[in-house]
Structure 1
Amino acid sequence: MRRGAVRSVVMAGLLVLLGGLGSGVGTARAGAWPGPGPEAGAEAGAEVEAGPEVEADVAYHGRVALAGGRLRILLVPENEGPSALVNATVRLRLSADLADRQELAEGCARAGLREVVCETGELPLHGRGRHIGLVMRLKEPASEVVVRVDTWWNGGAADRNHANNEHVVLALDTGDTYAF
């Protein structure tokens, strides 16, 4: 997905969350947004519509390191089932402001002063999505940064196990790597 397209989707989602476009937002959990429809990129025979009957267990595993005002994040999204997902969006919220200019990975976009969202790509049943690698500059050096990881959008699928997709990681400015 092109960076401009990701920004357009993010902006549309933010407008809906702020009440600018009406009632198209599901209320399953705070922060949900109507991201790209499941039919985008779906192949024949693939799961094309997520709804209340679709259930998936999205999980995120990765590493975080902070050194000299640069935050490095490697994230691997997984789906432990029972249904495949065409796409999902992971949200990364920081306790420190990001620098104004960032070179983000493809499929990622800024969603605020301290927030980045990234599409996971297809999440097959008992499989992994694309690896997401980010190196982000902070606006000002910080001795520590808290990184909160969660699912921003998953096509409306039910996910009853938030223990593996909602993480809080404290990274100290030592260059050490912290796993989640």
Structure 2
Amino acid sequence: MAAGMVGLYIPLFNLTFHSLFLSLVIQFAKRDSLKVIASGGSDEKVAFMKEIRVDIAFNYKTTKTSEVLVKGSPINVYVPSFGHGDQARLIVVQLLEQCTPTSSLGLMNVMTKEIKMYGFVMTSILPKYRSAFYMEIPELLASNELIFKEELMKGLEGAGEAILVVQKGMNNGKCVVVVADQ
């Protein structure tokens, strides 16, 4: 059983929102009674999301994401995994190109809805949350309070395949390379 890294466990601390869009920390959000909208790239992944009580689960390859998000809105938290520049700032005062009658507002919403953006890096927050993560999460996994799937690759010779499977999004659970049985 792999508890994983502390990373996506952390941003859910101290959140008091009503809905959430993400696909990786569903069960943490549901434990806090948040509404969860989650996407996956296969029907099998969507089925698993439904198994762990996602409110709205959809296959982003076969469903128009914007339509799902409109039905599930408002969305108060979105947890993607992307980025470019370190310690970037996003300051929005007015976006003239968004002020046309045909505009859907887009980034203008950052200003008009007073949206806050937070970034975090594992190395800067790990010391604060590491102990809590390892005290709570392995126990929740062992007690089956958190449901998980693993795909085991045997031996170091399976490491390359494991990386490829994860990069292509072909895994349906946490990909674990088993280097020795104990």
The question of a shared fold, defined as TM-score above 0.5 by the shorter chain, is answered with no
TM-score by length of 2: 0.21
Which of the two has greater strand per residue? Answer: 1
TM-score by length of 1: 0.21
Larger RCO (alpha carbons 8 Å, 6+ apart):
1
Which of the two has greater helix per residue? Answer: 2
